[in-house]
Structure 1
Amino acid sequence: MSDLQPDPSGAIVQQPERITAYHAHVYYDPAESRDRAALLRERVGAIFPDARLGRWHDQPVGPHPQAMFQIAFAPDRLSAILPWLMLNRSGLAILVHPDTGDAYADHARHALWLGAILPLRLDVLKHSEPTT
């Protein structure tokens, strides 16, 4: 059975079970806010040891318009990690999105922002429309 089911109107309803992980991209300015990002990264690693901390990217990479690092975590950790990031982001912009296998939709339509919303370079992402 497909995890994409139409609702009574015929629109596709995606099931949350499609989400295999979440990513939080923490953006910073290498010259002005990398220290705050480093402290946040250290705290996340200490408080959430099951979260996977990605490499530092001091230059834009992929769809990301400025320096960032990624925090990856299991779906069952969203309810703990998201509120913590909301309250402790130290003024940094953070993009949080699911991983459903559709990178374009995950970054463009399924994402939420903490702090400033940055313009992503979505043209570099693969896009696949859900089908039944």
Structure 2
Amino acid sequence: MKYHAHVFFELDQTAQVQELHLRLQEVLSGSVTVSRLLYKAVGPLPKPMFQMEFSQDEFAQVKYVLTQIFHGFSILIHPLLENEYLAHTQYATWIGTPLNLNLECL
């Protein structure tokens, strides 16, 4: 099973999130993909963010690293499922403050 982690930020946190983005690329090398920064809300995701994709084998490591260095950002971790609503709600895990997602997009 594959997972996504979404690290949300405010536009005035650009310097901090760029630093975190680079650090995660260094620390989580291998089959963890750290995508580019998106400076606007997309789909059900309510804020600018970047995404990470990883397998179940890496879940514990990714969650541990994010918990240790999240710097107060809200982070959503969810499995990739056919039912995206359930993936983003019932099966979702939050690190930091949970955000209200735009679930009508799902």
Q: TM-score range by the shorter chain?
A: over 0.9
The match for 1:47 among 4, 8, 27 is 27
CA deviations on 1:16-42 (whole Å, 9 max, x unpaired) are xxxx21111000111x21211111111
* In 1, Cα distance between equivalents of 2:50 and 2:104: 20
Q: After TM superposition, what 4+ stretches of structure 1 lie above 4 angstroms from structure 2?
A: none
* In 2, Cα distance between equivalents of 1:81 and 1:60: 23
2:101 matched residue in structure 1:
120
What is the CA-CA distance between 1:101 and the residue it aligns to? 2.1
The match for 2:3 among 3, 12, 22 is 22
* In 1, Cα distance between equivalents of 2:45 and 2:78: 13
Q: Does 1:100 align with 2:87?
A: no
What is the CA-CA distance between 1:117 and the residue it aligns to? 1.0
Q: Which runs of 5+ in 2 are unaligned?
A: none
Matches within 5 A, 1:11-90: 20-30=1-11, 32-49=12-29, 50-90=31-71
* In 2, Cα distance between equivalents of 1:38 and 1:56: 8
* In 2, Cα distance between equivalents of 1:101 and 1:39: 33
- Aligned Cα RMSD in Å? 1.0
* In 2, Cα distance between equivalents of 1:122 and 1:103: 9
Give the 3-state SS of the residue equivalent to 1:24 in structure 2. strand
What is the CA-CA distance between 1:79 and the residue it aligns to? 1.1
Identity fraction in percent = 30
* In 2, Cα distance between equivalents of 1:55 and 1:102: 25
What is the total number of aligned residue pairs between the two structures?
Answer: 105
Higher helix share: 2
Ranked by relative contact order (alpha carbons within 8 Å, sequence separation 6 or more), the top structure is: 2
